[in-house]
Structure 1
Amino acid sequence: MTSLQLSAQEEAVERFLDAAARGDLVQVSTLLSHVPSLINRSGHSGWTALMLAARNGHYDVVEALLSHGCDKFSVNSSSQSAYDIAKFWGHRHVSNLLGRTDGGGCQRVLPGSDLHQQENYFSRETLDRLSAKRTDKVWLEDRRSDPDTVYLLFSSLSPMVSGPREDDGAGAETKLCRFRYEAVKDLLLKPATVLIFLGVEKRKKPSSSSSQTAVGVQEPPAWFAINTDEDAVELLKRCREKSCCFPKTPNRDLLKLSEEEAGVVAQARSVLAWHSRYSFCPTCGSGTGLEDGGYKRSCRNSDCRSLKGVHNTCYPRVDPVVIMLVIHPDGNQCLLGRKKIFPVGMFSCLAGFIEPGETMEEAVRREVEEESGVKVGPVQYVSCQPWPMPSNLMIGCLAVAMSTGIKVDEDEIEEARWFSRQQVIDSFRGTRPAFTVPPRQTIAHQLIRHWISMNSNL
Structure 2
Amino acid sequence: MTSYQLSAKEDMVEKFLDAAARGDMSQVSILLSHVPSLINQTGYSGWTALMLAARNGHSHVVEKLLSHGCDKFIVNSSSQTAYDVAKFWGHKHIANLLCQTDDGCRRVLQGSDISPQENYFSRETLDRLSGKRTDKAWLEAKQREPDTVYLIFSNLSPMVSTSQEDDGAAVESKLCRFRYEAVKDLLQKPATVLIFLGVEKRKNPSPSSPEEGIREAPAWFAFSTDEDAADLVKRCREKNCSFPKMPNRDLLKLNEEEAGIVAQARSVLAWHGRYSFCPTCGSSTKLEDGGHKRSCLNSECRSLKGVHNTCYPRVDPVVIMLVIHPDGNQCLLGRKKVFPAGMFSCLAGFVEPGETIEDAVRREVEEESGVKVGPVQYVSCQPWPMPSNLMFGCLAVAISTDIKVDENEIEEAQWFTRQQVIDSLFRGASPAFNIPPRQTIAHQLIRHWIGINANL
Q: Given the alignment of the two structures, is residue 301 of structure 1 paired with residue 293 of structure 2, yes or no?
A: no
| Cα shift readout 1:6-25 (whole Å, capped 9, x = no counterpart) | xxxxxxxxxxxxxxxxxxxx
Secondary structure at the counterpart of residue 134 of structure 2: coil
- Larger mean CA deviation between 272-281 and 170-179 belongs to 170-179
1:235 and 2:232 matched: yes
Match status 1:436 vs 2:434: yes
Q: Which residue of 2 aligns with 1:130?
A: 129
Alpha-carbon offset, residue 173 of structure 1: 1.6
Relative to structure 1, the CA distance from residue 405 to residue 177 in structure 2 (aligned partners, 3 Å threshold; closer, same or farther) is same
Which of 393, 396, 402 matches 1:405?
402
- SS of residue paired to 2:344: coil
SS for the counterpart of 1:174 is strand
> Structure 2 CA distance, aligned partners of 1:254 and 1:171?
12
Q: Name the CA distance, whole Å, in 1 between partners of 2:259 and 2:168.
A: 21
* Corresponding residue SS for 2:281: coil
CA distance in 2, matches of 1:215, 1:160: 30
Give how far 1:430 is off: 2.8
**Quick one: which of 101, 106, 119 aligns to 1:114?**
106
Partner of residue 318 from structure 1, selected from 310, 315, 318: 315
1:332 counterpart (329, 334, 343): 329
**For 1:102-137, what per-residue CA distance to the aligned partner results, in whole angstroms no more than 9, with x for missing partners?**
349xx9xxx994244310000000100000000000
Query: What amino acid maps onto 2:284 in structure 1?
Result: G
**In the aligned structure 2, how far is the partner of 1:200 from the partner of 1:229?**
26
Q: 1:194: which partner in 2?
A: 193
Q: Which stretch has the larger CA shift, 240-249 or 149-158?
A: 240-249
Structure 1: runs of 5 or more not aligned: 1-70, 72-99
- Alignment pair present for 1:446 and 2:444: yes
Could you tell me how far 1:171 is from its partner in structure 2? 7.7
SS in 1 for 2:88: coil
**What letter corresponds to residue 248 of structure 2 in structure 1?**
N
Partner residue, 2:158 = 159
Aligned to 1:97: none
2:165·2:171 contact (CA, 8 Å) conserved in 1? no
Structure 1: distance between partners of 2:320 and 2:142? 39
Given that 1:329 and 1:402 are in contact with CA atoms closer than 8 Å, whether structure 2 keeps it comes out as yes
Amino acid of the residue matched to residue 149 of structure 1? T
The CA distance in 2 between the partners of 1:155 and 1:403, in whole Å, is: 47
Preserved contact between residue 162 and residue 170 of structure 2 (Cα < 8 Å) = no
How many equivalent pairs are there?
Answer: 351
How far the C-alpha of 1:290 sits from its partner, in A, is 0.3
Question: Quick one: distance in 1 between partners of 2:271 and 2:297?
Answer: 18
One-letter amino acid matched to 2:174: K
Residue matched to 1:174: 173
Distance 2:88 2:358 in 1: 15
Instruction: Verify the 8 A CA contact 1:196 1:295 in the aligned structure 2.
Output: yes
Q: CA deviation at 1:283?
A: 0.5
Contact 2:335 2:411 in 1 (8 A): yes
Q: Distance in 1 between matches of 2:391 and 2:341?
A: 24
Q: Cα offset for 1:167?
A: 7.1
Quick one: which amino acid aligns to residue 260 of structure 1? E
Matched, 1:248 2:245: yes
Aligned to 2:88: 102
Which 10-residue stretch deviates more, 141-150 or 167-176? 167-176
Equivalent position amino acid for 1:281 in 2: C
Mapped to 2, the partners of 1:168 and 1:198 lie a distance apart of 36
Deviations 1:156-209 (A, max 9, x none): 1000000104579988421000000000000111110000000000010346xx
Per-residue deviation, residues 355-406 of structure 1 (Å, max 9, x unmatched)? 0000000000000000001110100010000000000001000000011111
Taking the aligned partners of 2:204 and 2:348, their CA distance within structure 1 comes to 39
Partners of 1:215 and 1:101 in 2: CA distance? 49
Residue 139 of structure 1 pairs with residue 131 of structure 2? no
Task: Report if the CA contact (8 A) 1:117-1:383 is conserved.
Answer: no
TM-score (norm 2): 0.73
What is the rounded CA distance, in whole Å, between the counterparts of 1:102 and 1:280 in structure 2? 51
| 1:327-371: CA deviation from partner (whole Å, max 9, x where unpaired) | 000000000000000000000000000000000000000000000
**What residue identity is the alignment partner of 2:369?**
S
1:426 Cα deviation after fit = 1.0
Identity of aligned residues (%): 79
What CA deviation, in whole Å up to 9, does each residue of 1:257-305 have, x standing for no partner?
A: 0000000000000000000000000100000000000000000000000
Measure, in 1, the Cα distance between the counterparts of 2:264 and 2:235.
24
After TM superposition, the structure 1 = structure 2 runs for residues 207-218 of structure 1, keeping only pairs within 5 Å, are 217-218=214-215
Of 342, 357, 362, which aligns to 1:365? 362
8 A Cα contact 1:117 1:382, kept in partner: no
Q: TM-score, normalised by structure 1?
A: 0.73
In 1, Cα distance between equivalents of 2:224 and 2:346: 33
Give the letter for the 1:447 counterpart: L
> Displacement of 1:428 after TM fit?
1.2
| Contact persistence 1:101–1:378 (CA under 8 A) | no
* Whole-Å separation in 1 of the counterparts to 2:429 and 2:291: 50
Q: Partner letter of residue 145 of structure 2?
A: D
